[in-house]
Amino acid sequence: MNFITFTESHLRTFTYHVFKKMGCSDEHATLATDVLIRSDLRGIDSHGVARLSGYVRLWEKKRINATPNIKIVHETPTTATVDGDAGLGLVVAPFAMQVAIEKAEKYGSGWVSVKNSNHFGIAGYHALMAVEKDMIGISMTNASPLVAPTYANERLLGTNPMCYAFPAGKYPPVIVDMATAAAANGKLEIAQRANKNIPDGWVQDKNGAGSTDPNELKNGGSLLPLGSDKDHGSHKGYGLSATVDILSAVLSGANYGPWVPPFVAFLEPSANPVGEGLGHFLGAMRVDGFRPVEDFKNHLDNWVERFKSAKTVNPDKKVIIPGEPEHEFELERKVSGIPLIDVVVKDLNELADKLGITGLNSFN
């Protein structure tokens, strides 16, 4: 497995031109680019520019609207439902979070459920928008059905990530950003590209038996919930995933459970949908609605310091604060560049040829 490193600015330029070729406005192309590049900067390679071809294929199938009329279709002073008009989730979700933030500025908190959207990138991007305003940010989305609930041998739920982000003082924000499956599908894609096995407990085969083959989903298998099996707490991961599905879709009018449209363009959406597109749920809460901001930040700093000083089983291993590895990746990659696996570079260069834009290698 070989890596080629690109500067952030070069990847931004390339990605922007891809979205422009899809017909996105300057504003939407810039925003969608920012969401993807932030993922790569933070070391979440599975959700960065490696996903570009997937978005283009969905656009070609007319399942993504490059010029959506994103609008509020229902609201109260503190809540709203947003219709994404089949737009890029990379654009729809920030719109919805901005609505939540504006409601929180007036009333202390804001909550927005979204329908008729698509894959929205990393949940952390949207939650961090609230943190920048000294708010607590919450972001979640349902996703293509790849996960079998506890005891099931049928794909009914997505990896359904959820994120909670908290502003700190002298330390980076505390960001709990996780899939509610044992592993995100992107990690299987990375293992496939590297031709490596995956850990036990991530997937089961079509007969319900455990497997370490990263290609198992292609053969009729399914991902497992967080916890893997009942004895190890999979019912808890199943419950978290169900919560995301209900808040994101049952609440908004999006598709839920097995009716969520697949991210891959070669699989068709359900012929009998129960809603519109994918669903998201975004929330913002003003910290000063509970206590003075500086008091909260000082105590969160103290929380971070105490957990970092915890005694560990292995003296070479320190307790990791949620969001800490991603922050360190971002600091490093801002300076040293973003490494892409050669398979992804090849895919992006082929995409450039198809769209008639400058290839990625010319930027290196």
Could you say which of 279, 294, 309 is where a domain stops?
294
Domain count of the fold of the chain: 3
Does residue 196 lie in a domain region?
no
Residues 174 and 248 both lie in one domain? yes
Residues 141 and 170 both lie in one domain? yes
In the block, tokens 């972001």 appear at 139
The full 3-state SS of the chain, as one line of letters, equals CCEEEECHHHHHHHHHHHHHHCCCCHHHHHHHHHHHHHHHHCCCHHHCHHHHHHHHHHHHCCCCCCCCCCEEEEECCCEEEEECCCCCHHHHHHHHHHHHHHHHHHHCEEEEEEEEECCCCCHHHHHHHHHCCCEEEEEEECCCCCECCCCCCCCCECCCCEEEEECCCCCCCEEEEECCECCCHHHHHHHHHHCCCCCCCCEECCCCCEECCCCHHHHCCEECECCCCHHHCHHHHHHHHHHHHHHHHHCCCCCCHHHCCCCCCCCCCCCCCCCCCEEEEEEEEEHHHCCCHHHHHHHHHHHHHHHHCCCCCCCCCCCCCCCHHHHHHHHHHHHHCEEEEHHHHHHHHHHHHHHCCCCHHHHC
Does residue 139 lie in a domain region?
yes
Prediction pTM value: 0.95
Instruction: Report whether 121 contacts 295 (CB < 8 A).
Output: no
Kindly report the CA angle at 241 between 258 and 144, in degrees rounded to 5? 35
- Report the pLDDT value the prediction gives residue 360, as an integer from 0 to 100: 85
Residues 107 and 96 both lie in one domain? yes
Residues 317 and 337 both lie in one domain? no
> Cα separation of 82 and 159, whole Å?
22
Does residue 220 lie in a domain region?
no
Does residue 299 lie in a domain region?
yes
Residues 172 and 241 both lie in one domain? yes
CATH number at residue 358: 1.10.1530.10
Residues 174 and 312 both lie in one domain? no
Q: Which domain holds residue 54?
A: 1-67+323-363
Residues 289 and 318 both lie in one domain? no
Does residue 209 lie in a domain region?
no
φ, ψ at 182 (rounded to 5°):
-60, -30
Does residue 151 lie in a domain region?
yes
Residues 268 and 343 both lie in one domain? no
Residues 155 and 285 both lie in one domain? yes
- Report the pLDDT value the prediction gives residue 184, as an integer from 0 to 100: 80
Residues 82 and 149 both lie in one domain? yes
Kindly report the CA angle at 86 between 84 and 88, in degrees rounded to 5? 80
Strands 79-83 and 109-117 come out as parallel
Residues 78 and 173 both lie in one domain? yes
Does residue 119 lie in a domain region?
yes
Residues 39 and 94 both lie in one domain? no
- Report the pLDDT value the prediction gives residue 193, as an integer from 0 to 100: 77
Does residue 342 lie in a domain region?
yes
One pLDDT digit (tens) per residue for the chain, 364 residues: 789 999 999 999 999 999 999 999 999 999 999 999 999 999 999 899 999 999 999 999 999 999 999 999 999 999 999 999 999 999 999 999 999 999 999 999 999 999 999 999 999 999 999 999 999 999 999 999 999 999 999 999 999 999 999 999 999 999 999 999 998 877 887 788 788 999 999 999 999 999 999 999 988 999 999 999 999 999 999 999 999 999 999 999 999 999 999 998 888 999 999 999 999 999 999 999 999 999 999 999 999 999 999 999 999 999 999 999 999 999 999 999 999 999 899 999 999 999 999 988 765 5
- Report the pLDDT value the prediction gives residue 190, as an integer from 0 to 100: 79
